[in-house]
A and B are shown apart, each in its own frame.
Chain A
């Protein structure tokens, strides 16, 4: 059972436009969410996080939105740049339960076209 889902395996966006990557989850007990970016043959790098007590977190060109009632989060990248082309993973955790563990989605491959 996939508790964290990224239903779009790929996305293409023109340089300078907005990229929106989506993530859905099924477990209402998840209380902390992360986005990671991964280039081929490299480890993922942390991008941005959001706690369930917030509905938005912003860091430069990256903004994450959380809709708890819909169990949905999205990552907005504005403006998109060719260097943003990578695979993006969302991840969720039940930090209040004491676990360190995150559940990852299957990833969305973003291609930013110059």
Chain B
């Protein structure tokens, strides 16, 4: 079965540490995205990539970094520069002229 997998489902991070969230898809989708969901703020785009080895900043990229070395993978690193990293993170993928397929999300909590 094709799908998009995010891991881990829950993640705890100490202040000042970097942490990497995994996103893998076997849908052969060209584009991949990272969104953040906070209560009352909907889905805000962090980074997106339409092809391998290329990615663009979204609306709230500060404090985050990504890489797209393989079509299947789009990991997100939450750096210590991100001031308020506690949130629910969603990864998605898509092909041209189609909507997104979302992963099940990772809840990151800073302790």
Q: Spell out A's residues near B (CB within 8 Å).
A: 6, 9, 34, 36, 41-46, 49, 89, 91, 95, 100-102, 104-107
Contact = CB atoms under 8 A, between A and B. Distances in A.
Chain B contact residues: helix, strand, loop or mixed = strand
A41 B102 contact: no
B99 to A, nearest CB: 5
B76 interface: no
B102 A43 contact: yes
A100 B42 contact: no
Contacts, number: 56
B63 interface: no
B19 to A, nearest CB: 19
B55 interface: no
Contacts of A100: 30-31, 48, 50, 94-96
Nearest to A5: B42
A25 B51 CA distance: 28
B92 to A, nearest CB: 8
B94 A104 contact: no
Contacts of A101: 33, 45, 48
B45 A9 contact: no
